[in-house]
Amino acid sequence: MTKNNRGDIKAVRHLVSLSDLSARQIEEVFRIARDMKAHPDRYRSCLRGKTVAMIFQKPSTRTRVSFETGIYQMGGSSLYLAPNDLQLGRGETIADTARVLSRYVNAIVARVFAQDDVAEMARSGSVPVINGLSDRSHPCQAVADYFTLLEKKKRLPGLKLAYVGDGNNVANSLIEGAAKLGVNISVACPEGYEPDPEVLGSARRAARKTHSKIEIVRKPSEAVRGADAVYTDAWTSMGQEAEEQKRRLVFREYQVSASLFGRAKRSAVFMHCLPAHRGEEVSADVMDSSASIVFDQAENRIYTQKAILYLLLLQPDSAVA
């Protein structure tokens, strides 16, 4: 981005992890997403003539549909590339793939296994790269989550978010976002299933400026106590299927049940990035309760991702039709 009437906001080059965005840039994504949600016609042709390549090593519902639909709604086109459509990291190096695609398209969305793969694309290509999910990060999900929480609570600084379960890619990105936005986050997870230590270290340094509190606890009841929002995710992520039975045993005390959710504030909301497994990480009565905002989170993926594309591909002063 360039300097405009909203102040000096530096350019966003890629979104490999949420650490790539400053707090002001995340807030700018929120502002644009809010405007896109309220006034979609203003942006209906802003990506006209632009193509986004979508590299998906992992299957997807929300990420693929929200990006493809959002790109179409902005007048652009998307090119879906499944594992069999290209030889990513096998017949051709990741760096060469990124260099070649950069000659054809205006941006790349990559949903991959290894964080290093999407980072290598960003280093080697000459167009913006967006991490649509990796084993370490899910920045697009976290941006949509905090946008949804802001919609519901009207503020973010000082809120308490409790995360219960596996310290996975979603947990990592939520921690990064909490540190930048002044949200207090308490993660309850079994020993050996903590969030990435590098993410924790970096987030805790960032939290010094926002006074965000980041804690890792073992007891779900401790994390949930007094929380404004309770978040969970599947116990077994894609690529971990061989561990499914073991993980069910390890996480059996980490289900967000009605009893556990009742320890949060009476005004608390329940969050999940989906897909949800009722009876495992969350009970059906919590998942389907009036406190659940999971489908609002899913819907907001389209608006926040459109805003991210807008920031990466367009100058903020560009005219929108």
Beta-carbon contacts of residue 124 (< 8 Å; ≥ 6 apart)? 94, 95, 96, 98, 99
What average pLDDT does the segment 98-115 reach?
96
Of 197 and 59, more confident: 197
**213-228: burial string, b at 16+ Cβ within 10 Å, e else:** bbebbeebeebbeebb
Find the radius of gyration of the CA atoms of the chain. Answer: 19
Q: What's 122's DSSP letter?
A: H
Asked whether the predicted pLDDT for residue 9 surpasses 80, the reply is no
Q: What is the pLDDT of residue 237?
A: 85
Q: What is the dihedral of CA 125, 169, 27, 72, to 10 degrees?
A: 60
CATH 3.40.50.300 fits 18-137+301-313, yes or no: no
d(CA 31, CA 254): 35
Q: Do domains 18-137+301-313 and 141-297 have the same CATH topology?
A: yes
Phi and psi of 91, rounded to 5°? -70, -25
**Tens digits of residue pLDDT in 157-209:** 999 999 999 999 999 999 999 999 999 999 999 999 999 999 999 999 999 99
Provide the pLDDT for residue 318: 37
Residue 260: phi and psi, rounded to 5, are -65, -45
Q: Which residues are catalytic?
A: 111, 138, 141, 233, 273, 301
Measure Cα distances from 41 to 32, 38, 124, 317 in Å: 13, 9, 35, 17
238 pLDDT band, cuts 50/70/90, is confident
pLDDT mean over 24-44: 97
Residues 112-130, mean pLDDT to the nearest whole number: 96
pLDDT level of residue 253 (50, 70, 90 thresholds)? very high
Distance CA 257, CA 281 (A): 8
Cα gap 309→317, rounded to integer Å: 15
Q: What is the pLDDT of residue 86?
A: 79
Least confident of 22-26, 237-241, 294-298: 237-241
Q: What is the mean pLDDT of residues 309-321?
A: 66
Q: Report the C-alpha gap between 316 and 9 in whole angstroms.
A: 10
Rounded mean pLDDT, 87-113: 90
Residue 7 has pLDDT above 60, yes or no: no
Q: Is 83 a residue whose pLDDT tops 60?
A: yes
Q: Where are the domains of the chain?
A: 18-137+301-313, 141-297
- For residue 89, the model assigns a pLDDT of 57
pLDDT for residue 4: 40
Choosing among 3.40.50.2000, 3.40.50.1370, 3.40.50.12780, 3.10.129.10, the CATH entry for 141-297 is 3.40.50.1370
pLDDT of residue 321: 33
| pLDDT of 228 strictly over 60 | yes
Residue among 257, 19, 154, 195 at smallest CA distance from 146: 154
Structure tokens at 276: 């949800």
Burial (CB count within 10 angstroms: exposed 0-12, middle 13-18, buried 19+), residue 126: exposed
Confidence band (pLDDT; 50, 70, 90) for 3? very low
For the chain, give me the number of helices (H) and strands (E)?
12, 9
What's the average model confidence in pLDDT over 79-105? 88
